[in-house]
Structure 1
Amino acid sequence: MRKVEQMTLEQKIGQLVMCGFEGTEPSEEVLRLIREKAIGGVIYFARNVRNVEQVVSLSAALQEAAAASGQEPLFIGIDQEGGMVARITDGVALMPGAMAIAAAGSLEEAYQAALICGQELKALGINLNYAPVLDVNNNAANPVIGVRSFGEDPAKVAEYGVKTLQGLQSAGVIATAKHFPGHGDTNVDSHLDLPTVPHARERIEQVELRPFREAIAAGVDSIMSSHVVFPAFESQKLPVTLSKAVLTGLLREELGYEGVIMTDCMEMNAIAEHFGTVEAAVMAVEAGADLVLISHSHDRQQGAINALLQAVRSGRLSEERINRSVNRLLALKEKRGLYEPAAAVEVKAVVGTAEHKAVARRISESSITLVKDEAGLLPFRTEDSLFLISIEGAVLTQVDEAVDAQLTLGSALRELGAQVTELVVPLTKVEELKKELLSAVRYERQVIIATYNAYLDPAQAELIRELLALGKEITVVAQRSPYDLLAFPAVSTYVVAYENRPLALRSTAKVLMGDSKARGKLPITLSEGETVLAGGGSR
């Protein structure tokens, strides 16, 4: 490992920047950034992934480019949270997401899920995972966190978050707690605009900060800043990523965090539209960030590196300040074995094994939550004639990836011998097709609606309310958000799947057909006027 004193200023500045790129092979642009600018790392998205073997080759090629040009080994990062946010889905044992894991109710399984995820990522040459999400999702209207959170209880979020970071780090993969100090109580997506958490410091201490405090105590490798304004800590309208009062004052000095501080992507609108990605890169380092993430635009990546160099040369940033960050980054690379020769791994012996997939299946089946079944509609019988309307999920935020729609809840039910007529309706077509759908189910007895974030979609909610007005006894399956029930509380049978990944749909089908018991417990509270539904089970 090279010492900071042996590095040029240009090399040190490069270490502070993490870049994304297009393509499933190293692009010329990213290779130049590695060789000539000594960037600290790269981030993978689905656009960089074709299959498991290709990811192994891509990771090796990127690291070889760094080594051949005499640069430091690269952080290779990814958002592999599990569930709805995962960049690699085929050929791996894709684990359920955070809320599904919390619904399943086993801390040991949470650890195992993260350990397996970490082992598989490491075998693919990926050494950094942007997980766990430690946001406390106590705002039903949150459009971007939701099922990515372990729930609404700060203590449980902390418990599951710590187990997850421990699992990842036990596998030798860097864990990143996000989005400090909490993105759970927002109703704005920071990919689109600049959210604010207006609460007083006392409340933030009790709720938002608790999981991060416990993650720090557990030795989390890195923490990602949120692009959220916290007036309780920052007097100006600055998001946390650009706030010295929060990153240095709160996180470093008050909470005593000594690890790496990473930013969320600086091209999100909360930053790019309000401050400009290039200028904000300098502001983030001034505030206390060690690693600046720029996921997409080569011009912005190049511009940020140049701006950081100019900031040092002009005296705006001291070289001693840069050295502190570089020391932390190099120490983390050494801690996680990035300077050691890559061990020879038989990828198929580690990635996507039957044993790993069995763990994912066990957690998934334990997560399915029967919130209520007042009319006793479940389980269905193989001789029943079922009519299913499946709302096809869409990419709702920039962290989502499109889910392969080849397997639907209907096809999962058919695998178990059910007689199902299924209409698959695109999310954007519900309003347009509503009359047709109402007509189609007029004479059907067993009607199932598989919703997708219906609590945020008036068209889905209205469809279900009109079906109820026809006197239909409907079974609703929430394919993503458990909060859907709030939009149509009169539904008598309500099942939560937390995600519409194939594994979750198969687990849900087993519950609907009685092949598996619904064992999940809601990690959030659903309030219907005077009635509160929490923990699952019919009321």
Structure 2
Amino acid sequence: MIYHKPRSIKDTVFGVFCCLIINCLLVNCFLFNAAAKAEQKIEKLMTEKQQPIAFTLLDQMIAQKMALDIRYFCQQEDTPKHCWQGVTTLPDELAQLITDTNLGSVVLFAENFDTTEQVVKLTHDLQQAALKSSLKKPLIISVDQEGGRVFRFNKGTAFAGNMALGATYTQHQTYYTERVNHVIATELKALGISNNYAPVVDVNTNSQNPVINTRSYGEKPIEVAKHGVSAVKALQQHGIMATLKHFPGHGDTHVDSHLGLPRVDHPLNVIEKNDIFPFSWAIKQASPAMIMTAHIQYPALDDSTFTSKSGKTFIRPATMSRKILHDLLRTKMQFKGIIATDALDMAGIAHYFDKVQATVETFTAGADLAVMPFKVRKPSDVQAFKQFIKAVSKALETRIEQGEFTLAELEASVARINHHKESYITLPSVSLAKQIEQANNIIASSFHLELEQELADEATVLLKNEQGLIPLKQYSANINAKANADNHSNNNAALNIHVLVENQLEFEALTLAINEEFAIAKLAQPHITAVIATDKSSLMNKENNAALKRSDLFISTINVKTASLVDLGGMDDLVTVPTGKVASTSKESKLTYDKLVELALANAKAQQKPVVFIGRGSPYLMSPYSQHADVVLLGFDDRSFYHNNAAQSPGYNSAIGILLGNQQAQGKLPVSL
């Protein structure tokens, strides 16, 4: 429990109240009630006529310490509770909000990205709105561009993600980590983005981890640390603020902090050697601009408690812990950069604190930036957000009066943010048209896409190879020899390949990969038949059974990953989209296909067909499929996309190339199964 000094008695009512306080816990409850009343006032303002709100200097400092997401915005006040209009052009209301409040930062999501031209125009307009403010400070424009499963700009170069980079470590150390992050930084810079919420340096030691998993470089702290340093240096050399996350470590959890409050019970020596080691190493070696907190309980670091808005008592999460953020990270570890919270609308915080209380708690703990503390989704929310800033300002002023925080700390925090803005944010000196032209030449350039393919090639892991299937060109020669002996057929007769894929895009990408790799191997183009999965009946119909019976080889693919809200974006995805798309953290949407793949693999094996399984994603989830396959290839690049009117998949290209013997499997798993 955090104890507070009582306020001075200023009037009779307050004096009577103070006399009833028998311990400091009741003061904590009082502060919570005050924050709750402020929250109710904000909600009421959402429906009231908007009135001008004057900002004090303290209010302006608070606004500079906030990072607001602009994922959605609807002009209509009578819109349903959840607005689903993605912000691709800056609405006047949001522009005015930025100007009026001196907002410090914005966060972009996939809904803010359409074309390269559109993104450049959006970031340009955001900065122009910021420069019209009284302080004339540019915005920190942030995005989660980790690569792999967390990739917001679908027109850019995605790469295969951190675990793919970890899989290249044995052969190449951090060579690809550096090259990949050079490209990511170059593309972000071209788009007008100044801060990447990456790299993830959590050490993934829990195979059941739903939120980190393949976002981690691996399970060895020193390797994770070296990758992290390479990523930070590459990003920051190109003027992009790097963000180490999630401090003090999210690698050994089985709860997604989007949905709950995880807890890590490691003893202090394990925390120092494992969880925080990559952070301390990177602070010393690379001076990261930013570190993001984790909404996680770490009793060995701070076992103090708080009273939630439901009245229950819980151990304080790292995001709200002064012992962890100020005493450990800022003082002991000597971190000089910006401490940013993870999103404050995540359940790991929002289920326990109201908006005002959460923001104040994290500021007094030592955070510089409160990320996504308030949703602005329609015009009336603009006025409510301004009142929210004032409520936070008033509550923080009270904490300063009580001696739990100091004005000097607040001023130092704002100065730290502005120092990093001056160091990293250089607004373009050329015209908007020229910026767009330059960006079009950079985003997803042929050089960048070649590197994406190269990483996929180097990272793919061969987990199983039985029946002599690899190299497939040798197997094909054996099939042809048998056919020639039996039927006097052409020595280069085409193979019959039957495939199971999830959708049309996957089928086109896999087909292109097969045809191109067969051409490289100088083999006749195979006859490809397919089941494009819809349900179980599509697998069991007569046409499919006949195609499988005629086939010389069966191939099935699946993207295997533990679902998390981070893949989609955030807490907004918990609810149903009006178009009928349901965003869920469960695997319900994939369940039918998961079982279909298992059934298909077992069926093909039962018919004594050579079986190849191509898994893309988490190595921890391969077992149900591997047991039925002769060849198991794991690639971390699970992206299929259209480029130059053709379906592409770096992961499929690598897997089929290895299968045919056109290249060797170089990847080594950076985690234990």
What does residue 230 of structure 2 align with? 163
* Secondary structure, aligned partner of 2:335: coil
Q: Aligned partners of 1:28 and 1:494: how far apart in 2?
A: 53
Aligned partners of 1:295 and 1:513: how far apart in 2? 52
- Could you tell me which residue of structure 1 aligns to residue 579 of structure 2? none
- Partners of 1:279 and 1:483 in 2: CA distance: 38
SS at match of 1:134: coil
1:100 CA drift (Å) = 1.2
Q: Please say which of residues 346-355 and 412-421 is displaced more in the overlay.
A: 412-421
Higher mean alpha-carbon deviation, 191-200 vs 12-21, is at: 191-200
The residue number in structure 1 matching 2:497 is 386
- 1:353 equivalent to 2:445? Answer yes
More deviation in 213-222 or 463-472? 463-472
1: CA distance, partners of 2:496 / 2:390: 65
Change (3 A) 1:252 1:313: closer
1:494 pairs with 2:632: yes
- For 1:124 and 1:234, how far apart are their aligned partners in 2? 40
State the shift of 1:406 in Å.
7.7
Does the alignment pair 1:506 with 2:634? no
The question of 1:412 aligning with 2:496 is answered: no
SS in 2 for 1:42: strand
Q: How does 1:137-536 map to 2 (within 5 A)?
A: 137-217=204-284, 218-235=286-303, 236=305, 237-294=315-372, 297-298=375-376, 299=381, 302=386, 304-316=388-400, 317-338=405-426, 345=435, 346-381=438-473, 383-391=494-502, 407-416=508-517, 417-425=525-533, 443=549, 444-453=551-560, 460=594, 463=599, 466-467=602-603, 468=605, 473-488=610-625, 490=627, 491-501=629-639, 502-526=649-673
Aligned CA distance change for structure 1 residues 447 and 115 (closer, same or farther; 3 Å): same
**Matches of 2:606 and 2:262, distance apart in 1:** 38
- 1:81 touches 1:130 (CA, 8 Å); kept in 2? yes
Cα distance between partner residues in 1 of 2:265 and 2:194: 36
Match of 1:62 in 2: 126
SS at match of 2:345: coil
Q: 1:455 and 1:277, CA in 2 relative to 1: closer, same or farther beyond 3 A?
A: closer
| 8 Å CA contact 2:456, 2:636 repeated in 1 | no
**Among residues 139, 144, 148, which one is paired with 1:79 in the alignment?**
144
More deviation in 347-356 or 212-221? 347-356
- Unpaired segments ≥5 residues, structure 2: 1-55, 73-86, 306-314, 477-493, 518-524, 564-586, 640-648
- Give a deviation string over 1:171-218, Cα, whole Å, max 9, x none: 110000011111111111111221111221211212111111111112
Separation in structure 2 between the aligned mates of residue 171 and residue 292 of structure 1, nearest angstrom: 25
8 Å CA contact 2:62–2:393 kept in 1: the answer is yes
User: Is contact 2:531–2:538 with CA below 8 Å preserved after alignment?
Assistant: no
Q: Which runs of 5 or more residues in structure 1 are unaligned?
A: 1-6, 394-403, 527-539
Contact 1:189 1:195 in 2 (8 A): yes
SS in 1 for 2:342: strand
Q: Return the alpha-carbon distance in structure 2 between the equivalents of residues 188 and 155 of structure 1.
A: 25
Number of residue pairs matched? 506
Largest Rg, 1 or 2: 2
CA distance in 2, matches of 1:301, 1:202: 43
In structure 2, C-alpha distance between the alignment counterparts of 1:516 and 1:204, rounded to whole Å: 41
Distance in 2 separating the partners of 1:247 and 1:392: 46
Q: Give 1:126 shift.
A: 0.5
* C-alpha separation in 1, matches of 2:373 and 2:361: 18
Taking the aligned partners of 2:370 and 2:541, their CA distance within structure 1 comes to: 50
| CA distance in 1: counterparts of 2:326 and 2:63, whole angstroms | 22
1:23-81 Cα offsets, whole Å, 9 max, x none, are: 10112342233111111111111100111111111111111111123331000111111
Is it true that 1:18 corresponds to 2:58 in the alignment? no
The CA deviation at 1:488 is 4.7
Q: 1:250 offset after TM fit, Å?
A: 1.7
In 2, Cα distance between the equivalents of 1:454 and 1:180?
23
Aligned residue for 2:189?
A: 122
Q: 1:422 to 1:157 in 2, by over 3 A?
A: farther
TM-score normalized by structure 1? 0.86
Secondary structure in 2 matching 1:184: coil
Cα deviation digits, residues 477-515 of structure 1 (max 9, x gap): 111111223335534321111131132233323223333
SS at structure 2 position matched to 1:207: helix
Return closer, same or farther for 1:511/1:256 CA change in 2, 3 Å cut-off. Answer: same
What is the CA distance between 1:340 and its match in structure 2?
A: 7.9
Aligned residue number for residue 34 of structure 1: 98
**TM-score where L is the length of structure 2:** 0.70
Q: Tell me: CA distance 1:191–1:471, structure 2 relative to 1, closer, same or farther (3 Å).
A: farther
> What is the CA RMSD across the aligned residues, in angstroms?
2.8
- The one-letter code matched in structure 1 to 2:394 is Q
Amino acid at match of 2:496: S
Deviation of 1:165 (Å): 0.8
Secondary structure of residue in 1 paired with 2:207:
coil
465 and 185 in structure 1: CA distance in 2 versus 1, 3 angstrom threshold: farther
Q: Distance in 1 between matches of 2:323 and 2:300?
A: 10
Which is further off, 173-182 or 308-317?
308-317
Match of 1:133 among 200, 218, 237: 200
Please identify, of 178-187 and 513-522, the stretch whose mean Cα deviation from structure 2 is larger.
Answer: 513-522
> Post-superposition shift, 1:334?
1.0
Determine the C-alpha separation between the residues in 2 that align with 1:303 and 1:377: 67
- For the residue of structure 1 that corresponds to 2:622, the secondary structure is helix
Distance 2:532 2:228 in 1: 35
Residue 485 of structure 2 is matched in structure 1 by: none
Q: How far apart, CA to CA, are the structure 2 residues paired with 1:463 and 1:274?
A: 43
Q: Which moved more, 1:114-123 or 1:460-469?
A: 460-469
- Which deviates more from structure 2 when the two are superposed, residues 502-511 or residues 215-224? 502-511
Deviation for aligned residue 1:358: 2.1
Deviates more, 1:439-448 or 1:284-293: 439-448
Compared CA separation, residues 193 and 82, structure 1 to 2 (3 A): same
Distance 2:335 2:599 in 1: 49
Aligned 8 A contact 1:146 1:481 in 2: yes
Alpha-carbon separation, structure 1, partners of 2:508 and 2:397: 56
> Hey, what's the Cα distance between the residues in 2 that align with 1:155 and 1:305?
41
- Against the structure 1 CA distance between its residues 143 and 285, is the aligned structure 2 distance closer, same or farther, given a 3 Å change threshold? same
Amino acid at match of 1:81: E
| C-alpha contact (below 8 Å) 1:413/1:420 kept by paired residues | no
